Amino acid sequence: MTARLQNRTALVTGATSNIGRAIAVAFAAEGAHVVVSGRSRERGDEVVAEIRAAGGKADFVAADLDGSPAASRSLAETATGVLGGRIDILVNNAGIYPGAVTADTDEASFDRVYGVNVKAPFFLTAAVAPAMAAAGGGSIINLGSWIARLGIPVGALYSSSKGAVETLTRAWAAEFGPSGVRVNAISPGVVLPPGTEAAGPAASMMKGTPADAPGTPDAIAHAAVYLAADESAFVQGTVIDVDGGRVGVAVIAAA
């Protein structure tokens, strides 16, 4: 541990699995007091236990971020209380991915994806950012996606929601940056939990990239620590691609 986030507080949504879990664990390892938020208390308690066993500080706060302003405001209020009156770092990670093509997507699915992926972080940021500014500053980190900028046949709804999140990142940087609140985003490539064998679309989507394979949640967590820490103080309104080169690079095999 290098204590890059010592004495800071953090709220991580969708922190009971995969990327969110890795970010929560990494923040705590760097000294932050972390609120692990998600729908499953059982999985949340597991993350908290892991963090505490390693000497870190964490608490679980249950939340079903369905997109309603009330749900986001309730989480902000509860987490603020648990964290001693302030949130220094907010990670808008919670999201859902439907696998349907456009013609098979009904209105209820559309509204749910935009509720969880766009409305929930919008209203959570609205509840947290002004308090951050009043306290002297903070860092907000949003999770985008590589398919927000590289189209694939299945994923129009999800990719459009993540495109909205990346646009909000830039808009919020302009809105809150002058008050000391930095807003940035991470755009992950295909990421699988450690020990998961890549197969099917997950494996093929990373072919032709420098990495040539899916990444792990830890890779995203390292980027999140950087964006939360002081060394990124001059980074504002940026989307960092942590995608094995998926969006920006094509590797052409020699004949």
Six-digit token pair at 251? 């590797």
- The count of domains in the chain is 1
Per-residue pLDDT of the chain (255 residues; tens, 9 = 90+): 689 999 999 999 999 999 999 999 999 999 999 999 999 999 999 999 999 999 999 999 999 999 999 999 999 999 999 999 999 999 999 999 987 899 999 999 999 999 999 999 999 999 999 999 999 999 999 999 999 999 999 899 999 999 999 999 999 999 999 999 999 999 999 999 877 776 667 778 888 899 988 999 999 999 999 999 999 999 999 999 999 999 999 887 544
Residue 251 lies in a domain: no
Residues with catalytic roles:
158
Residue 4 lies in a domain: no
Residue 113 lies in a domain: yes
Q: What distance separates the 2 farthest-apart alpha carbons in the chain?
A: 61
Sign of CA dihedral 96, 167, 187, 41: negative
For residue 224, give the CATH number of its domain.
3.40.50.720
Phi, psi of 183 (to 5 degrees): -125, 125
Phi, psi of 215 (to 5 degrees): -95, 180
Residue 41, CA distances (Å) to 38, 171, 206 in order: 7, 33, 33
Residue 3 lies in a domain: no
Residue 254 lies in a domain: no
Residue 171 lies in a domain: yes
Residue 114 lies in a domain: yes
Six-digit token pair at 228? 């939360």
| Range(s) of the domain holding residue 184 | 9-242
Six-digit token pair at 48? 């908290």
Residue 227 lies in a domain: yes
